[in-house]
Amino acid sequence: MLADDESRPVRLRRLRKTPALRALVRETRVSAQQLIYPMFVVPGSGVKSEIGSLPGQFHWSVDRVADAARSVADAGVSGLLLFGQAVIRSASGSEASAPDGITQRAIEAIKSAVPDLVLCTDVCLCSYTDHGHCGVLDGEEVDNDASVERIAQVALSHARAGADVVAPSDMMDGRVGAIRTRLDSHGFVDVSIMAYAAKYASAFYGPFREAAGSAPMFGDRRGYQLDPANIRGAIREVELDLDEGADIVIVKPGLTYLDVVAKVRSRFNVPVAAYVVSGEYAAIKAAASRGWLDERTAFMETITSVARAGADVIITYSAPDVARWIAESRSR
């Protein structure tokens, strides 16, 4: 018995004693319903080809993508983020908005096979232009206003094909407002916009650019993506996108920009998504393949940290695995 004037020892470890106790007081819980899985659709038929820089991820042709999407849904994942590539690239990325384009046909196939899956589509030009930049060029500079017009056309074509959510990733000024106006004027008032609002010029996109065939032929994207050193600029971008009609805002990359995720979460009362990007995913896969860390534990810790920072939606290449691991842990 402690005397009244004695200090009672602090025993914070009591609630860490057993798995059940730890689960009881856990502050952050990740659900499969929070997850969106990126998928890459390419020209051809019968294609299922593993992406060298993204172990466990594949290129799919339109005739095979619906079955792949169904398996993702069966794992418990709520949504897909679809990336397409052109058959023939052009200066304006004309195939990006073609009614019979790769992405448009994939949307139709997936919605027919798995209608309840939330289908999001990346809206950009980089995988469709012959120069690899995210917009239309004027000389060697990206023309903001001409690019916005093209991006709005692409978003409309995705909505017509059946997309639930369009996700402009180009980082052109004013593109969210242009997309919202274009969608509404054509009767697509219920199609949501998930804007890449705080998209940084990151070194962690390397594997994605191989997967999407989106590396620029010259220069880089620092003239339109955010400087990694800045956070006030990210808040301003988010604010503008919301003013223009964005329904969800994305912070990209997610894992290496958790401070930005937390700042956006605390500042804005809207759904916040974080994209755990290709380089972040590939780094864990590479380390796990060498036995340097446990893959399952590392991915679950990563996803939990993103949710803890404030992300409501998590876009990740590990989504199907994470969904299965969550289900397994609950069945024990």
Q: How far apart are CA 303 and CA 3, in angstroms?
A: 46
Please state, in angstroms and as integers, the Cα–Cα distance from residue 236 to each residue in 142, 222, 239, 268, 305, following that order.
21, 17, 5, 11, 24
* Catalytic option among 17, 48, 111, 199: 199
d(CA 197, CA 204): 17
Structure tokens that stand for 209 in this block = 């650019």
Residues 6+ apart with CB under 8 A from 7: none
Residue 199 annotated in active site: yes
In the residue annotation, 252 being an active-site residue is answered as yes
CB 126 within 8 A of CB 221: no
Three-class SS of residue 123? strand
- Give per-residue burial for 218-255: e unless 16+ CB within 10 Å, then b: eeebeebbbebeebeebbebbebbbebbbbbbbbbbbb
d(CA 153, CA 190): 17
C-alpha to C-alpha distance for 5 and 26, rounded to whole angstroms = 33
Residue of 17, 48, 111, 252 marked catalytic: 252
Report helix, strand and coil shares of the chain as percent, to nearest 5.
Answer: 45, 20, 35
Catalytic residues: 199, 252
